[in-house]
Structure 1
Amino acid sequence: MPSIHDFATWEPVPRLLRAADAENIAAPGGYVAGRIGRHGSSLPMPRRRPQPGRALQIEDMQDEFDAVERVRGALADAGVDDISFAAEISRDGSAVLHLLHPSPAAEPGIGNAHPGSLILVEDAVPEPWRRLPEPVPAAVAAPSVDPASLERTLRERIPDAIGATEAEIAAAEARLGVVLPDELKVLYRVTRARWEDRGDDYEAAERVSDAVGCELLSLDELYIADAPSRPSPWKFAAMKAVGTPPDAAVQGLVGSPGWIVFGDNGGGDLLADSLTDLVSNGLGEGRRGPRGDQPPAVARVNIGSLSSVEAAVHPDLEVLSIGVWEGEPLSLAPVTGLPRLRTLTAYPGTLADPLEIADPLPIVALANELLALWDRPPITRTTLEGNLGPVA
């Protein structure tokens, strides 16, 4: 198997890409870029259409499959998970292939060779992930908390469930480092929710989920919902804001050392006054957690939302997103000096001053300049040269 740094390993890839768009790639300044990883790939090729009357088959894409697998084999041999590339191919077939090895300080971009977010400080996380709960010394249990009623209801609904022993509950508390609330203890005394207790009876699992109002984790799977347990790439997490309306029962945070995860509904956070309330009444209309990605903390300027940067100005503005825009490029002057503004994203061509850079190589060079200023590992670049021959 040729090395990942042999042109022969890569040759089928630029050959395929040239066949898909030879004119644009061979034009002055033309290039093609993509990414291949051990578990996926992104090549800028048009989606192939199957023959009329049948679905797309593996053999219809065999050349692409073989080209990618050849690179993947070399990645595996080199112990590399993912690599990006940019190729310049002239009309006579001479090709220059730039391989971009990822830096641990740079998240991958979406789809192509462009780097994503740069992590300039080791183990840094976005601001919403650093928020801790505000102390509420006067907080008390909701009036709906009723362990006795909760136990009766659960035993009526799942009479054959196997409950946890006091020793098992104590072991879970020791593992978590917290004392379980009385309602949770009641819940797991009724059912410890282990799969081995149900055998292959999936209907039994559904009965437990229906009884509780969510997909219940077993006692052994309980965990604390702190920020590290809910990771997110910077490009998404930095676009979030946390907020708590004045009448909210729960603080709008990513995580908290006081939150114990015991279930999942597969579609978002649950909000109920208590476990007793959840089991007795379920999730009614509007019973979901507070959202923080709303104005004034997060503002979106685009053809379907705010019509100007001025409309986004607010002392609490944290995130400004400028999307699809049909008018003149926008100025950022109105938001200059806002005390909490920390994140800006803008589609190419929407800003009046910054220049648009499409080619990934100058972006990689700029990213490495920034990483060097912070003494962070660079994105390494290896250049390979070869010849694909003239277009057939």
Structure 2
Amino acid sequence: MPSSPRWMDADLELFRDLAREFCEREIKPNVDKFIQNHQVDRDLWNKAGELGLLCASIPEEYGGIGGTFAHEAVLIEEQARAGDSSWGASLHSGIVAHYILAYGTEEQKQHWLPKMASGEVVGAIAMTEPGTGSDLQGIKTRAIKEGDEYVVNGAKTFITNGAQCDLVIVAAKTNPEGGAAGVSLVLVETEREGFRRGRVLDKVGMKGQDTSELFFDDVRIPVTNLLGTQEGLGFFHLMAQLPQERLIVAVSTQAAQEFALELTKQYTHDREAFGREIFKFQNTKFKLAEIATDCRVGRSFIDECIELHIEGKLDVPTAAMAKLWASETAMKNIDKCVQLFGGYGYMLEYPIARAWTDIRVSQIYAGTSEIMKEIISRTM
């Protein structure tokens, strides 16, 4: 990685030191355990909360440390460099908490955000359904008002933090006949009657992440659990927050390919074939040169996007470009790294193999690469 980007400062350097030490101590030695258990240890959230690593970009009055998106980016990078994809902290802090901060009532913010910042409450957001992927207007889950309550019915899938979450932001139709204008966001506490968790899904990669199915069977919540000033704004809230979600994916995939490059450089220097280091073969050097160049170019672009986002200037198509570039180049480059590892690159005990299987989903979630191209092309 080149010299520190312009968005870094002395405070963020201290935060990076804290995040790196935490990831080295609490995450890196436990990666295999998380994978075996299909989730991180529950007390990892509490330990992170005690250090101020959760919801760092949330104002101090709501339990955060009053940082910016840069603080979230630093933690994402350090988690990636620890070789971990299990901990859903970026979704908890960078996505769920910001929906509540942006659209919650003062009572909702005062109640939930400090608990999320401490790790007492783990957050999730439920958009995708078994029959509905990218088409959020077509969701079937309903939240129908009955008196002073909403009755929530439906099913969600591919939910990060699904097995451990205490609070779920649910995208549901409050007006089943409406399209985008019928979608609202509601807060559902997982302790409520009628809520149940399905299985933790058996994924190709990210096996330590508790991606789950969630079911809502006549779950009754108070109307005060509506997120936003009125019904029907959910789709627009989702569209407004997706650029940050896509930037989070871009930051994590950029860090992942930088991590893979470092692993591969070390391996090719340590490993010998035909009496010399693998690194000394021209093909190896040329492949690593290609990967290093892509990483340097990507790093410059991602740093620019972080800076724009901190300034409130990151637009929708640029965020889509960041996710598209980072996810596509990471997949290509980590695949090259696996090839340089040879047969060992295909062994899951090697971090490079896990990095390879983990990265594939980055071209799918938070909007597929095809959706990103559609968004970008609309501005042409």
Give TM class, smaller chain.
under 0.3
Structure with the higher fraction of residues in helix conformation: 2
Q: Report 1 or 2 for greater relative contact order, CA contacts < 8 Å, sequence distance ≥ 6.
A: 1
TM-score normalised according to structure 1 size: 0.20
